[in-house]
Structure 1
Amino acid sequence: MAVPRVKRQKPERAAPRAVGLTREAVIAAALEEIDATGLPGFSIRGLARRLGVNPTVVVWHLGNRNMVLAEVVNAVQGDLVPARPPHQGWQDRLRQIFARSREAVRRHPNVAPLIGAEIVSNVRSDFRLAEALLEALAEAGFTGAALCRAYNATHAALVGFTTQELAQMPGEDLPGWQAGMREHLTRADPRTHPILARELPHLANRAFILRWQNGVEAPMDESFALYVDCFIAGLAAHALGTGIPAN
């Protein structure tokens, strides 16, 4: 009589993690990798090489590439909303958040496209930023559907200027590209583009589409200040125009 074979239970595999490696360390290394190599070339394998581990260790800690990028955005934006000082008005609160957002991206300019154009980061979004913007706009008087529209406009404004200011520089033959851009501007014909040709000394390398450096080397501080002032003034005027108190 045959003796029935007993199936042996396979031992459960241990989680593929490196000793002492933390989730926070993986996120920090991912940000360092993007700072060093840029967003297009970022990969789980490259991050694993930086950490000296197998790629499965990175996936175990954070998940796939999308999840890693979401964590990176969350890390960059983690300090945008400080404790609110007493009696700080909604306009000053927005100015504070705008300024901190720009400074955060200036410290990590290679992340700018991810913040401005990748919806993948939403999966790990920090609700503190959303709440702070909504709080300021609610104090301005927006509510309901109007609050949603004002929030969308504010978030777009928060991201828009900075991502353009810190747009990625060409990765191939940068000196040659910059020289070509400077030469291209000299060809502005005063007969067909009179204002551009006349004002070029004030515009060259200081204005969008007329520059050969991004905001890392040629920051647009005064333009950013005007941008924020105009946007907040527009919010206040809109609130007043719809019968909503602006203060």
Structure 2
Amino acid sequence: MRHDEAVTNRTAPADKQPGTPPRRGRPRKGAGTLTRDAVIGAAISVIDEEGVEGVSMRTVARRLGVDAKSLYNYVDGKDHLLDAVAEHILVGVALPEPTGSLDADLRAIGRTFRAATLTHPRAGALVLTRQLSSSAGLRPVATVLSVLRAAGCGPDEAVHLLRTLLASVIGTLLREVSAGPTFGVVGPEATAARRRDLEDSGLPVLVEAAPYLARFSHDEEFEYALDLIVTAVTRKVDDGGRP
């Protein structure tokens, strides 16, 4: 064997040795351009398919084709990763510009927040329940407070109203992304079966309400809850904060 052939054989990378099949699908471990955004995107992909319970540093790393330890260069652990997912979704919320109308602005914010939550429904609980301290996480809170302050609320009253608004909107959205049959069902066959169950209960109040309890529309329920809470808030503000 010539000297130059021997050198070539000694320095050839392992994945280029004769007889080694080419890798398919995932990139080599550590290859490519691993970034924080890529890690977050992979976590969202896992959540979309398996739910939040499917997220771990290993499942996300497996999706990226890297070693789980490499993720710690971008997030401190699973909790930090879940916070990053919630923050990433909130950053994508295109909050509407205020119009000066308290009623219109609160409704627009509520609808925008719902649309952003439903972009990744299985991540909805993260967006709605994790308490974030970053500017992205606090931006929706600051927007609502600004609208309330512009309507004449003092800081203390604005915070009370903010919490009441969030409790209503978040509660309604949590029901939408994870509700059980207690709140009714969707689809004609399921609705008919649910109605029969209610009518067979023998409880007069349920029999009377069966046609309405059996069916469920997420759009209608959200709009009803939003209308109720915004009407209550605007009336209280118009009354000068009096009970």
TM-score (ref. length: structure 2): 0.73
State yes or no: 1:49 paired with 2:59. Answer: no
Q: Whose Rg is larger?
A: 2
Of 191-200 and 44-53, the range deviating more from structure 2? 191-200
Cα distance per residue 1:79-102 (max 9 Å; x no partner): 3243516x4523222211211111
Query: Cα distance 1:125–1:39, how it changes in 2: closer, same or farther (>3 A)?
Result: farther
Specify which of 146, 167, 180 is matched with residue 156 of structure 1: 167
Specify which of 76, 90, 113 is matched with residue 125 of structure 2: 113
Counterpart residue identity of residue 203, structure 1: L
Deviation of 1:118 (Å): 3.8
CA distance in 1, matches of 2:155, 2:238: 16
Q: Tell me if the contact between 2:44 and 2:85 (Cα under 8 Å) persists in the aligned partners.
A: yes
Deviation of 1:156 (Å): 2.0
Q: Tell me if the contact between 1:81 and 1:128 (Cα under 8 Å) persists in the aligned partners.
A: no
Counterpart residue identity of residue 34, structure 1: I
Query: Cα distance 1:183–1:243, how it changes in 2: closer, same or farther (>3 A)?
Result: closer
Shift >6 Å, 4+ stretches: none
Deviation of 1:57 (Å): 1.5
Query: Cα distance 1:182–1:69, how it changes in 2: closer, same or farther (>3 A)?
Result: farther
State yes or no: 1:236 paired with 2:234. Answer: yes
Cα distance per residue 1:8-35 (max 9 Å; x no partner): xxxxxxxx96541111111111111111
Deviation of 1:237 (Å): 1.5
Aligned position for 2:210: 200
CA-based RMSD of the aligned residues comes to 2.9
SS in 2 for 1:21: coil
Q: Tell me if the contact between 2:96 and 2:109 (Cα under 8 Å) persists in the aligned partners.
A: no
CA distance in 2, matches of 1:59, 1:239: 48
CA distance in 1, matches of 2:95, 2:128: 22
TM-score (ref. length: structure 1): 0.72
State yes or no: 1:96 paired with 2:108. Answer: yes
Counterpart residue identity of residue 36, structure 1: E
Specify which of 24, 30, 33 is matched with residue 46 of structure 2: 33
Higher relative contact order (CA 8 A, sep 6+): 1
SS in 2 for 1:72: helix
SS in 1 for 2:178: coil
Counterpart residue identity of residue 50, structure 1: R
CA distance in 1, matches of 2:89, 2:147: 22
Structure 2 gap segments, 5+ residues each? 1-28, 182-188
Aligned position for 2:196: 186
Aligned position for 1:63: 76
Query: Cα distance 1:204–1:187, how it changes in 2: closer, same or farther (>3 A)?
Result: closer
Aligned position for 1:21: 34
Structure 1 gap segments, 5+ residues each? 1-15, 171-177, 207-218
CA distance in 1, matches of 2:134, 2:44: 15
Cα distance per residue 1:37-79 (max 9 Å; x no partner): 1011211110000011111121211221111111111111223
Query: Cα distance 1:243–1:98, how it changes in 2: closer, same or farther (>3 A)?
Result: closer
Specify which of 221, 224, 232 is matched with residue 223 of structure 1: 221
Cα distance per residue 1:173-217 (max 9 Å; x no partner): xxxxx98x97675343578532321332233141xxxxxxxxxxx
Q: Tell me if the contact between 1:81 and 1:129 (Cα under 8 Å) persists in the aligned partners.
A: no
CA distance in 2, matches of 1:83, 1:240: 23
Query: Cα distance 1:205–1:42, how it changes in 2: closer, same or farther (>3 A)?
Result: farther
Higher helix share: 2
Query: Cα distance 1:230–1:18, how it changes in 2: closer, same or farther (>3 A)?
Result: same
Aligned residue-pair number: 206
